[in-house]
Structure 1
Amino acid sequence: MEALDLARWQFGATTVYHYFFVPVTIGLVFLVAILQTAWHRTGDERYLRLTRFFGKLFLINFALGIATGIVQEFQFGMNWSDYSRFVGDIFGAPLAIEGLLAFFLESTFLGLWIFGWDRLRPALHLACIWIAAVGTALSAYFILAANSFMQNPVGYTFDAERGRAELTDFMAVLTNKVVLVTFPHTMFGCFMVGGALVAGVSMWHLLRLRDSTDDDARLDRSAFTTALRLGAVTVMLSGLGTIVTGDMQAKVMTEVQPMKMAAAEALYETTAPAPFSPFTLGTPDGSEPTFQVEVPHLLSFMATGSWDGEVEGINDLQEEYQQTYGPGDYRPNIPVTYWTFRWMIGAGAAAMGVALIMLWSTRRSRRPGATPRGARWLGAGAIALPLLPLAANSFGWIFTEMGRQPWVVFGLMPTSAGVSPGTTVAEVATSLVGFTLLYGVLAVVEVKLLLTYIRKGLPPADPPVLHDGESPLAFAY
């Protein structure tokens, strides 16, 4: 195995691992802000307790997400120095603004929110969590703008003497057609994860409390029923938003990267109209299917907006790219792109279905899990629900990045040209093992902390007092 292969494995593994935290952070912070807004407007103690409960889960995830995100930045200098040199003038601008503006809003106002319960006026304290939430969205936008340049380079000129791309139009980078469709699609995916976590945790507590009859259990059931409905509705509405924006994204993807769309269906020959196959048995790359479930015309609509539209095939695009870019294999890994595209859709659809069942189980003030069999199924759903949209997000990003190959910047720089020239297999392998061990420890810490505080249940209704005027300021949320 070459250094390039290990470097790709390392960046892919660290990116997917880091992205486990990102959608939870973005989706959960907005739901926490909604819960605190409901408490601020109604004075209902249920919303305060839910705000503090899910706020603590959000903070645990936020802290671990920062730690894993920092590791990614090291790799640009360690393993991908030629890539950094080639696009640094462009890639650095949105990432710098993300750090100076978006992350500043997140960290500063989140700190005020953590320590301001007994020091800030309620309305100002509420504004802090909303500003932090907006900061997470801005952070996502600028990072996606940088990534979208890799998918569809705009706003640059190529300096042949220096061998690098140089920024000429920053607004073109920020308004790239790819980022304009990727951002809402990503945000809806994050909301699905946040809603799924709220709904799954709430269902687990409702099943745990279903046979309790004391007043505290009754109050907890009322609060978790409210949270369950909020989370389940968020999953379903965000799922619909993901479908709509995903359709928009597919059409833009076909325009700027037709090979990726062809690979998503393993469509080797140009076809009009083109069907879409939700399921296939045969060779892993789909070249010789033995059994297929096809939906006629669907791929044509996904790619072109017309039920009879022509979709270019892999073989024709390969010939076209060889004429344009020179000899080489411009096909991505077909089995990976084909199946991650379907796993993304399947996991997202399954999450919407589980959320609908959970919401249905609370209709007309009913208690979920009234029968042992129903309780077992809902318990399994409570565990699976947060994982399903998280998996859908991960599969979606694997498809997006693997489908762009063999380009690190589409049409400009092959991935093989972006790796650091002096990096050895031993160096990359050593850092890969180190990151794997570090991430393994962080995973244990994350899961342990989340499960510990989930099991503790709802905190008291009184807002936390973090400073009594004499003792030093400390985090005691």
Structure 2
Amino acid sequence: MSTELLARAQFAFTISFHYLYPPLSIGLGLLLVIVEGLWLKTRNPLYHQMARFWTKVFALTFAIGVATGIVMEFEFGTNWATYSRYVGDVFGSALAAEGIFAFFLESGFLAVLLFGWDKVGPKMHFFATTMVAFGAHFSAIWIVVANSWMQTPAGYHIVGEGLTARAEITDFWALVFNPSSMDRLSHTVIAAWQAGAWLMASVGAFYLLRKRHRDFALASVKIGLSVALVGALLSLVTGHSSAQGVAVNQPAKLAAFEGHWETAPRAPLHVIGWVDEKNEQTRGVAVPGLLSFLAHADPNAPVTGLRDIPPDERPPVNFTFQLFHLMVAVGFAMIALALWAGWALWRGRLEHSRLLLGCLVASVLGPQIANQAGWWTAEVGRQPWIVWKLLRTSEGLSAVVSANLIIASMVMFTIVYLLLFAVFVFLLNEKIRHGPDDADLVDPYENVARQLGPLKGGAS
């Protein structure tokens, strides 16, 4: 196996494993703001209990996410030194912004969120919760901006030649608002909301199946499903907008999405299929003209086919095709499940349908599968470019790294990551099995006010 393929496989493994956790942190951050806001508005102790429980789950997810994300930064230097030198001015600026505006904000208020329940007032604690949620979202902003620049570079110029060539920023805001960043950011963040929402709904459904913590479970399912349904429907909008941008900026990637070979009007959209790359054919069920309509709002508009792309600039077509269709299929399945569960909840039948509750328990896997498939689609579909039309992936490797070194580090990382995943699953399972604490089913600030009341009265 070549050094390039090993380096790509290692980075794919580390980033895929890491990407299990940031979407959960972003989604749970939003849900914590909603739940704690409901508690402040209604003073219903149930929402206080929910906020305390889901804060513990958020803390676990955040910790594992930080631990698994550090490795990737080392890989930039060890395996991809040429790439790091080429884009250091651009990528480094975005990562620095993430550290300053996102990570410090999130981690700075995290201690108040976790340990400040009995030490600060309710409004101050809610403010800390909101800042942690904002921090998680800001982190996504800068990471997606950096990655989007690799997809659609803007706001730069190239200085130097040959091995000394590198990209320098000429317009920071053009870099931030590059042609794909806002579409990709909205799609990524909404997908993260769904990851947290379906986790909340899944745990609530689990308790309903076990006939435990009924009030907590119903509230978790209601709030989780509400956010999940809104997110699933919004994903259709953001996904469509993102695909239209791909049609303009990365036509080879769109052609790979659909296994589209011939540039022609009324381009078909494949619902399901298989790509024969050797014979340049795609077999499956297709709707004539639908790809043209979705990409250009005109069923007669031509769509660039893969035969107009040089063979050495085509991504792995069938792999990209299958991943893209997996992401879309899971997305529509989540919409159907959210509508089904919402209808059953409205009719008061949710608790009596073990099939539906079982589907909701398993639903936590849906956003994870879609997120992974979507990320892989975007990255594999960009090949053979590590920076679109500027730097090939094969040119971004470190000159001195060897295959044996990559294999050794990959084995080590795999062992460590498997241990971390086992710890995460064990601790999450323990928290879910234990369930919410009955001691949290109170309004602690009401108790404090009651205790201080006589003292204030006596002093007056």
TM-score range, shorter chain: over 0.9
Output one character per residue of 1:363-406: Cα deviation in whole Å (capped at 9) or x when no partner. Answer: 244451x3xxx31x234313320101111011000000000000
Output one character per residue of 1:256-285: Cα deviation in whole Å (capped at 9) or x when no partner. Answer: 110000011111110211110111156477
The aligned residue for residue 37 of structure 2 is 37
Alpha-carbon contact 1:285-1:334 (below 8 Å) kept = no
Once residues 419 and 464 of structure 1 are traced to their aligned partners in structure 2, the CA distance between those partners, rounded to angstroms, is 56
Output one character per residue of 1:203-226: Cα deviation in whole Å (capped at 9) or x when no partner. Answer: 1101111xxxxxxx5xx3122112
Amino acid at match of 2:207: H
CA-atom RMSD in angstroms: 1.7
Q: Which of residues 350, 356, 363 is equivalent to 1:385?
A: 363
- Residue 263 of structure 2 aligns to a residue whose secondary structure is coil
Task: State the shift of 1:352 in Å.
Answer: 2.0
The aligned residue for residue 401 of structure 2 is 423
The aligned residue for residue 309 of structure 1 is 301
TM-score by length of 1: 0.89
Once residues 278 and 25 of structure 2 are traced to their aligned partners in structure 1, the CA distance between those partners, rounded to angstroms, is 35
Unaligned 5+ segments in structure 1 are 210-216, 319-327, 466-477
The answer on 1:278 being equivalent to 2:232 is: no
Unaligned 5+ segments in structure 2 are 446-460
Aligned length: 441
Larger mean CA deviation between 395-404 and 52-61 belongs to 52-61
What is the correspondence of 1:366-377 to structure 2 with a 5 Å cutoff? Answer: 366=349, 368=351, 370=352, 374-375=353-354, 377=355
Once residues 169 and 285 of structure 1 are traced to their aligned partners in structure 2, the CA distance between those partners, rounded to angstroms, is 43
The aligned residue for residue 334 of structure 1 is 317
Once residues 48 and 285 of structure 1 are traced to their aligned partners in structure 2, the CA distance between those partners, rounded to angstroms, is 60
Alpha-carbon contact 1:266-1:286 (below 8 Å) kept = no
Amino acid at match of 2:11: F
Alpha-carbon contact 1:182-1:249 (below 8 Å) kept = yes
Output one character per residue of 1:7-39: Cα deviation in whole Å (capped at 9) or x when no partner. Answer: 000001111111111111101111011001100
The answer on 1:185 being equivalent to 2:163 is: no
Once residues 301 and 52 of structure 1 are traced to their aligned partners in structure 2, the CA distance between those partners, rounded to angstroms, is 48
Amino acid at match of 2:78: M
Task: State the shift of 1:54 in Å.
Answer: 1.5
- Residue 362 of structure 1 aligns to a residue whose secondary structure is helix
Output one character per residue of 1:126-177: Cα deviation in whole Å (capped at 9) or x when no partner. Answer: 0101111111111111111110110011111111243111111111111112
Alpha-carbon contact 2:43-2:443 (below 8 Å) kept = no
Alpha-carbon contact 2:201-2:361 (below 8 Å) kept = no
- Residue 309 of structure 2 aligns to a residue whose secondary structure is helix
Q: Which of residues 412, 416, 438 is equivalent to 2:416?
A: 438
The answer on 1:398 being equivalent to 2:376 is: yes
Q: Which of residues 337, 342, 355 is equivalent to 2:338?
A: 355
Task: State the shift of 1:235 in Å.
Answer: 1.2
The aligned residue for residue 243 of structure 2 is 250
Task: State the shift of 1:182 in Å.
Answer: 0.8
The aligned residue for residue 265 of structure 1 is 258
Alpha-carbon contact 2:208-2:357 (below 8 Å) kept = no
What is the correspondence of 1:187-206 to structure 2 with a 5 Å cutoff? Answer: 187-206=189-208
Amino acid at match of 1:305: A
Task: State the shift of 1:88 in Å.
Answer: 0.2
- Residue 310 of structure 1 aligns to a residue whose secondary structure is coil
The aligned residue for residue 322 of structure 1 is none
TM-score by length of 2: 0.93
The aligned residue for residue 95 of structure 2 is 95
Amino acid at match of 1:298: L
Pair 1:464–1:422, CA change in 2 (3 A): farther
Alpha-carbon contact 1:254-1:261 (below 8 Å) kept = yes
The aligned residue for residue 435 of structure 2 is 457
Alpha-carbon contact 2:45-2:443 (below 8 Å) kept = no
